Amino acid sequence: MDIIEEKIEQAIGILRELDADVWMLFVRETAEIADPSFAMVAPAHVVWQSAIIFSRNGERIAIAGRLDAEIFRRSGLYGEVHFYDQSIVPELRQVMARLDPRQIAINYSPSNHTADGLSHGMYLTLCEALRGTPYVDRLVSAEEIVSRLRGRKSPGEVQRVRQAIRATEEEFIAVTPLLRRGRTEKDIADFMHTRLARTDLQPAWDARSCPIVNAGPCADSGHAGPLTSKTIEHGQVVHLDFGVRKDGYCADLQRLWYVRRPGERRAPGNVQRAFDVVCKAIEAGVKALRPGVPGWQVDAVARRTIVEAGYPEYPHAFAHQLGRAAHDGGTILGPRWERYGNTPLGLIEVGNIFTPELSVQTEAGMVGLEENVLVTEHGCEFLSNPQTEIWYA
Amino acid sequence: MDIIEEKIEQAIGILRELDADVWMLFVRETAEIADPSFAMVAPAHVVWQSAIIFSRNGERIAIAGRLDAEIFRRSGLYGEVHFYDQSIVPELRQVMARLDPRQIAINYSPSNHTADGLSHGMYLTLCEALRGTPYVDRLVSAEEIVSRLRGRKSPGEVQRVRQAIRATEEEFIAVTPLLRRGRTEKDIADFMHTRLARTDLQPAWDARSCPIVNAGPCADSGHAGPLTSKTIEHGQVVHLDFGVRKDGYCADLQRLWYVRRPGERRAPGNVQRAFDVVCKAIEAGVKALRPGVPGWQVDAVARRTIVEAGYPEYPHAFAHQLGRAAHDGGTILGPRWERYGNTPLGLIEVGNIFTPELSVQTEAGMVGLEENVLVTEHGCEFLSNPQTEIWYA
């Protein structure tokens, strides 16, 4: 079954589960400013103001400008397609009057960016369009609907994420021979981009920092891009944070290599110890990762493991979700810091895909790993082949 | 000079011109849900909540999460870069207290989608962050700032749009031999996509409808994609609406071919007449296109030309702006229909790039053209080589 059809059926099921009457997307110019939910439930971009409406009774309604309406009609995904020339307001008010919903869930959320696709200007436009009707006071946040819908990967979605992970793992193998003394961080990134350009794969996030390459000690690791001024040296680690997007779905993995000094057989003790602690913390976190548990509790397990081993806390969440985006929104396995809003309080669900990740600093550079796991009824399945030993270039 | 530096300098000039104290972008996860203004003034995507602040005094301030801050620091574009771990609120309140602006312009606009990058959830987050300070009541729409900034193309931007137009015109030449009886609309699109895949060019909009291909009579022309079920026939027109994106800037052109019957030398009279009227209407509109004129007046000139020639009105605007996006927002040369909000009321400015376009239906298919023009002090410069005669495949 087509993934859009899978997601629409899921959406209607979630409306029933939450006893929510109507979920509405209200969008325009989606190629330039896209509601992250739009591509989940719509077949192609639209230009004019459009409303996509799903009801708990299974209705699927699209209202679009004349030049966009054919996109919806041809898709066969919607039971009703309305079009307009000069203003969406009359059609929108008629559809609302007929459905007469108790609440209309719309896409805004302070915490979950993938549930926050309604712009403030479009929110004002919607309020104006419904002014004088009872419906303007029935607008509520669709945060919970979108978080569940996006978080529970359908069979087709899991399959696509698996493919992206396999493809990413192949790229790690391909780049390994290059990780030698004298290469710059930028050399590594350029090599990986050149390979991608020959395939149907895209970087899973901003190409300027995908891969993130950390060669040796790094004060400012994070989301910044690779440097031409940093060169791989003997006795250092090389750390990559990378993923590809394939058929619209992403992988997001970190891998670690050690570059041996002449005559050296293995990484020195401090690097090996850091690596072992990172593995142990990921393992402990993944063990705690089960349906029904709030996200922050899983983070706390991994965080405690690191701190008890004598390393400082990592300055981020233990895991985010993965899917259409590398940062797929919804429940996060992270600390209850203000910047995460309510996402660490969410409950883990079957079908969620998470990215357990953390790192510690050593004199040889940053030692970090990231895996991709699927939540199942009884725990977790690793979708990536977890790295359990330091790799050597 | 780098285009981002050009746009930041322009932005500060516009703040002075409008006597506006501060313009602020408030964003997160920009790779997944991007404020269209973000890439104009920022060097790369960010993950955590970030504020980018420009003042009429020339201050350039970034506040970002620890893992994102290095992106801003390395760019050299900002005088101050602040970072945070757990919450952006304390830094944001401190910066605001120091600047003490009379108003804080933020990116929301019912009418201009490229000035509407602040999501409703982020708007609520911002209000909460400033709660209890005087600044929460000083938030105003940055619509006018963004419309001017995005609309007035800098020299670097005009140069890039020119390049995209040249590249698009080459693709029209390359596809011409293919426009023969028996080819489907989809064949044409596939051929063009295959060519693009070998270059550094991307489709200027959703690839599923870029190109739009209309072979022969079409009831539902618009933004929908090409069909495998529609085949080019003798005695029909082929109409393409297509543009490429090159180095981040777009072209958007329509071209028209006629497919002759055996022994036929020229298009029949009704096609030629339609073509001549379309040319004449575009010419009339472009002649009326001058700085200081409100957009709707230009549309009215072109619209009148078509109607006086006995054809029905086109169901869209005469021209939108062009730049980073094919639909670049701001003043539109369109009718005062509700769906266009206040954009037809905007005044045309020097440096705007517009896309005069319209079409009429004939028995042989849709006859439409679209050109790209730059507004200069004394009128318009054609950036495209305007089509003045019907092309034959």
Domain boundary among B150, B184, B200: B150
Mean pLDDT of chain B: 95
> B211 preceded by cis ω (within 30°)?
yes
CA dihedral sign, ordered A270, A271, A277, A280: negative
Its domain, for residue A91, covers 3-150
User: Could you tell me if B111 and B235 lie in one domain?
Assistant: no
CATH number of the domain residue A170 falls in? 3.90.230.10
Same-domain check for residues A227 and A215: yes
Phi and psi torsions of A171, nearest 5°: -65, -35
CB contact under 8 A, A120 and B115: no
Q: Which residue of A has its CA nearest to B212?
A: A67
Tell me the CATH number at B86. Answer: 3.40.350.10
Of A150, A172, A201, which marks where a domain is finished?
A150
The answer to whether residues B145 and B185 belong to one domain is no
* CB atoms B128 and A110 under 8 Å: yes
In this structure, the answer to whether residues B178 and B138 fall within a common structural domain is: no
Which of B234, B169, B177 lies closest to B365, judged by CA? B234
Spatial distance between the Cα atoms of B238 and B179, rounded to a whole number of angstroms: 7
pLDDT (tens place) for every residue of chain A, 393 residues total: 699 999 999 999 999 999 999 999 999 999 888 899 999 999 989 999 999 999 999 999 999 999 899 989 999 999 999 999 999 999 999 999 999 999 999 999 999 999 999 999 999 999 999 999 999 999 999 999 999 999 999 999 999 999 999 999 999 999 999 999 999 999 999 999 999 988 989 999 989 899 999 999 986 666 677 888 899 999 999 999 999 999 999 999 999 999 999 999 999 999 999 999 999 999 999 999 999 999 999 999 999 999 999 999 999 999 999 999 999 999 999 999 988 999 999 999 999 999 999 999 999 999 999 999 999 999 999 999 999 999 998
Of A28, A116, A225, the CB nearest to B119: A116
Contact B118 A118 (CB under 8 A): no
For residue A342, give every residue at least 6 positions away whose Cβ sits within 8 Å of its Cβ, in sequence order, or none.
Answer: A110, A111
Residue pair A211/A242 in contact (Cβ under 8 Å)? The answer is yes
B95 with B209, same domain: the answer is no
B84 to chain A, any CB pair closer than 8 A? The answer is yes
What's the longest Cα–Cα distance across chain A? Answer: 80
Q: Which residue of B has its CA nearest to A226?
A: B71
Which chain A residues are Cβ-neighbours of B46 within 8 angstroms? Answer: 223
A157 and A146 in a common domain = no
Contacts of B49 in chain A (CB under 8 A): 339
A49 lies within 8 A of chain B by CB: yes
Interface of A with B in 369-388 (CB under 8 A): none
Same domain, A161 and A102: no
Interval B337-379: pLDDT, tens: 988 999 999 999 999 999 999 999 999 999 999 999 999 999 9
Measure the CA–CA gap between A118 and A95, rounded to whole angstroms: 20
Do A129 and A178 share a domain, yes or no?
no
Chain A residues whose beta carbon lies within 8 Å of the beta carbon of residue B329 = 29, 32
- Shared domain for B78 and B98, answered yes or no, is yes
Flag whether pLDDT at B223 surpasses 80. Answer: no
- Identify the residue among A86, A107, A113 best suited for mutation to test binding to B, counting B beta carbons within 10 A and taking the highest: A113
How many domains does chain A contain in total?
2
Structure tokens at B329: 């927002």
Proportion of chain B above pLDDT 90, given as a percent: 91
Q: Residue A135 has which token pair?
A: 């419906």
> Touching check for A108 and chain B: CB below 8 Å?
yes
B209 contacts on A by Cβ (under 8 Å) = 44-45, 71
Q: What's the confidence (pLDDT) of residue B227?
A: 84
> What are the chain B neighbours of A71 within 8 Å (beta carbons)?
209, 223-225
Indicate whether A158 and A249 sit together in one domain: yes
Beta bridge partners of A106: A24, A141
Q: Are residues A232 and A164 in the same domain?
A: yes
Q: How many helices (H) and strands (E) does chain B have?
A: 10, 18
